Amino acid sequence: MWDGANHPGRTERATGDGQSYGPHLDLDQHPVAYEKCWRYFVDHGQYSTSVQSLCELMNIRLPFEKHKPRLLTVPFWWLLKEKRSSHKVSLIPYMRRLVCTGNDTDKILEDFFGSCYSRGVANLRKQERRNYLLTAKSTTWDIVKSAYDMGSEEKVPYLVPLREATEEDILDTESHWSEWLAMGDWMLGPRRPSSLEFIKIEDHMEEHEARN
């Protein structure tokens, strides 16, 4: 069954100073689209040849590979695939691996998460693209790679620059980077300088379009 704890459907969380600091689960809204994507991945996506081939290339195991019952005690193990696949499956590791290897294309996302991926996992994809940019900005390549490895058996085989980065991606990440640096200098709450007033990404985009 779908584990709501793994759901990244979110709105921007505002603090007392009116700033937006990241994703937040909206408990008043039933995450129908995300649940559909989750269910598609668990019941269909992970069993498709294209998804299995790509996961092998990216060196990440699928849920059914992690929870195989013993063949000696359960001869017809494939009959239990839904039960074992639903065991606390999170989509986050798969989106992270897709982003850092440059495989977060529309076609691949549909193969993994179904036709409603653009509504169901759009926030997750945006967050992980931002995280990847922030990680690359903050440290060296080898440390970035270590951050995206998943234990000794699921190390990421390669990293690529963020695929098809847009001006919106860059400006969004830049605003979060400024907030992060401010926190490092204890410039939070009442100490937060007015020069760091939050500017909506739409305002950034209007500025960029006006300059061009």
Highest mean pLDDT among 15-29, 136-150, 193-207: 136-150
How many CB atoms lie under 10 A from the CB of residue 40? Answer: 20
Question: Which residues fall within 8 angstroms of residue 94, CB to CB, at 6 or more apart?
Answer: 41, 55, 60, 112
Non-local (6+) Cβ contacts of 140 within 8 A are none
The predicted pLDDT at position 180 comes to 84
Average of per-residue pLDDT values in the chain: 79
Predicted local confidence at residue 209, as pLDDT: 53
> What are the phi and psi torsion angles at 172 (to 5°)?
-60, -45
Question: Considering only 16-25, 102-111, 129-138, 161-170, which range has the smallest mean pLDDT?
Answer: 16-25
The reported pTM is 0.73
Identify the DSSP state of 135: H
Crossing angle for the helix pair 106-113 and 49-58, nearest 10 degrees?
A: 110
pLDDT of 26: 53
Which residue did the predictor score with more confidence, 204 or 137?
A: 137
The reported pLDDT for the residue numbered 8 is 52
The continuous run of DSSP H or E covering 212 comes out as: none
Count other C-beta atoms under 10 Å from residue 149's C-beta: 14
Decide if pLDDT at 103 tops 80.
yes
Q: Is the pLDDT of residue 179 over 80?
A: yes
pLDDT at residue 174 tops 80: yes
What's the confidence (pLDDT) of residue 90?
A: 95
- If one compares 2 and 45, the residue with the highest pLDDT of the two is 45
Q: Give the residue with greater pLDDT, 183 vs 136.
A: 136
Does 27 score more than 80 pLDDT? no
pLDDT above 80: residue 49: yes
pLDDT for residue 69 is more than 90: no
Count of C-beta atoms within a 10 Å radius of residue 83:
11
Question: In this predicted structure, what is the pLDDT of residue 183?
Answer: 84
Mean pLDDT value of segment 70-95: 62
